Amino acid sequence: MAQPRGQWSGKLGFILAAAGSAVGLGNLWKFPYITYDNQGGAFVLVYIGAVALVGLPIMIAEITIGRRTQRSPVGAFRILMAGRSGGWFWSGLGFLGVSAGFVILSYYTVVAGWTLRYTWMALSGQLRELAAQSGALDAYFGSYVANGGAQVLGTGIFMTLTIGAVYFGVRSGIERVAKVLMPVLLLILFSLAIYASTTAGFGEAMTFLFRPNFSELTSQSVLEALGHAFFTLSLGMGAIITYGSYMNKKCSVPVAALQIAALDTVIAILACVVMFSIIFSFDMEVSKSAGILFTTLPAVFFQLDGGGIIAAAFFILVAFAALTSTISLLEVVSSYAIDELAWSRRQAAMTMGAAIFVFGVLNALSLGANDWLTDLNLLGASHAGLFNSLDYLASNWMLPVGGLFIALFAGWMMSSKDTWAEVSQGHDGSAAWYPAWRFLIRFVAPVAVGAIIFSIIFLGMEYQ
């Protein structure tokens, strides 16, 4: 550990980097389609509840663990367990997080690569031509994902961009990218939202999103909202532990966590407002799956005035959001090598990035390009293909299990004195939140996450 440890330049740097991690494909692609599948209103409310009562407390726990130990997950748990028995188990939990980062990044970059392709297609006019012929967008998407060369290229370009940011370090790489991309992302999204409010479908979209109808709500939706709260806030694998380890002791942990969670939620909801306003304007069918982003939306964009610009702005928005998320995933894996194996940052970013890319190629080829990888059936017929199997493994197992144990660790293995010693630093405001947090992290979060895991095992539910 010869190199001085990186640190964010200040509060804003941390907030934007962590919000950059949180805001990603989960917000702009997954949340809209699961909201649609779950009939809107009531689901949105439950989701907000899940973020507030489970996501936010676990985010506070992760930041606390990271900032206290100044380490990424494996080292963080080792330090906190020093001199106590069972340390191997908790370091193992840290390792599960690092592995989850590896796995998620290996398929996330594939989808992220699509956003680059579609940005290019929107700018070059190809997307407009496809939108003009009925069925052409679907056909194009199908043949594009099955084109091995194109998939590997997109994945490779995206991984190169990701490595570039991690290579330059916490402040000159990660923070700098987030400080440019996040404001642009917000600007694009707000502009699209203002535009959406002038479309014919806006009223219907608002009713759909904000008028809850609780009779539509099922226990499956509640659990799906909870599962998604995890993924969208980047919780359960130590990404926020790692980012928290670069946080200055002068910043307030609960305030930062609240701002990140709020920003993530606002962006997810705004994405719904934009998409549903546009889609409802034309009475389009919404398909579950990647379709909403890459086939349904492009089709409607070109029915609008200035469709090409809207489409390009939209895909750039998604690409930016994805990039700040892939950076956080690579940072978790790299910081493990930096902290635990004493690698240099540059060596860690390039080696780990290259290794994940090589593995990612297998995912890139599992969408039709290679028969064996496409049909590979590791976890049951509904997850055929390596890509689907890994997404299922990570979102349904690694993150919930990781989140459960992080909550248990912060609530039960760390003393109240210990956590207070950390969170009181840099927080000048009222301390009234603290007992509430303790209660949520000790009881509410473990029970809720336990319910997710229970329902996956015993009720056969899935969250993806």
Rounded CA separation 70/58 (Å): 18
Rounded CA separation 157/348 (Å): 18
Contact between 328 and ligand TRP by CB under 6 A: the answer reads yes
Contact between 145 and ligand TRP by CB under 6 A: the answer reads no
- Work out the burial of residue 434: count CB atoms within 10 Å of its CB; fewer than 13 is exposed, 13-18 middle, 19 or more buried: middle
> Which 3-state string (H, E, C) describes 186-238?
HHHHHHHHHHHCCCCCHHHHHHHHHCCCHHHCCHHHHHHHHHHHHHHCCCCCC
Shortest spacing between CB 386 and ligand TRP, in angstroms:
19
Contact 445, 407 (CB under 8 A): yes
**Segment 236 to 265, residues that bind ligand TRP, using CB under 6 A:** 237, 239
Q: Which stretch binds ligand TRP (CB under 6 A): 246-254, 271-279, 324-332, 454-462?
A: 324-332
The structure tokens listed for 255 are: 């305030």
Q: Which stretch binds ligand TRP (CB under 6 A): 24-32, 190-198, 306-314, 347-355?
A: 24-32
Rounded CA separation 397/235 (Å): 13
Shortest spacing between CB 98 and ligand TRP, in angstroms:
11
Contact between 22 and ligand TRP by CB under 6 A: the answer reads yes
Contact between 21 and ligand TRP by CB under 6 A: the answer reads yes
The structure tokens listed for 400 are: 């919930």
Contact between 109 and ligand TRP by CB under 6 A: the answer reads no
Question: Based on CB atoms, which residue is closest to ligand TRP, 107 or 144?
Answer: 107
The interface mask with ligand TRP, positions 162-201, x = CB under 6 A, is ----------------------------------------
Q: Which stretch binds ligand TRP (CB under 6 A): 178-186, 244-252, 323-331, 428-436?
A: 323-331
Contact between 25 and ligand TRP by CB under 6 A: the answer reads yes
- Candidates 295, 325, 366, 455; binder of ligand TRP (CB under 6 A) is 325
**Segment 199 to 238, residues that bind ligand TRP, using CB under 6 A:** 231-232, 234, 237
Contact between 366 and ligand TRP by CB under 6 A: the answer reads no
The rounded Cα 15 to chain-centroid distance in angstroms is 15
Q: 370 to each of 81, 139, 151, 376, how far by Cα in Å?
A: 45, 18, 12, 10
Question: Based on CB atoms, which residue is closest to ligand TRP, 237 or 348?
Answer: 237
Contact between 26 and ligand TRP by CB under 6 A: the answer reads yes
Contact 428, 252 (CB under 8 A): yes
Rounded CA separation 383/390 (Å): 9
- Intra-chain end-to-end CA distance of the chain, in Å: 39
**Contact residues for ligand TRP (CB under 6 A)?**
21-22, 24-27, 104, 231-232, 234, 237, 239, 325, 328-329, 399
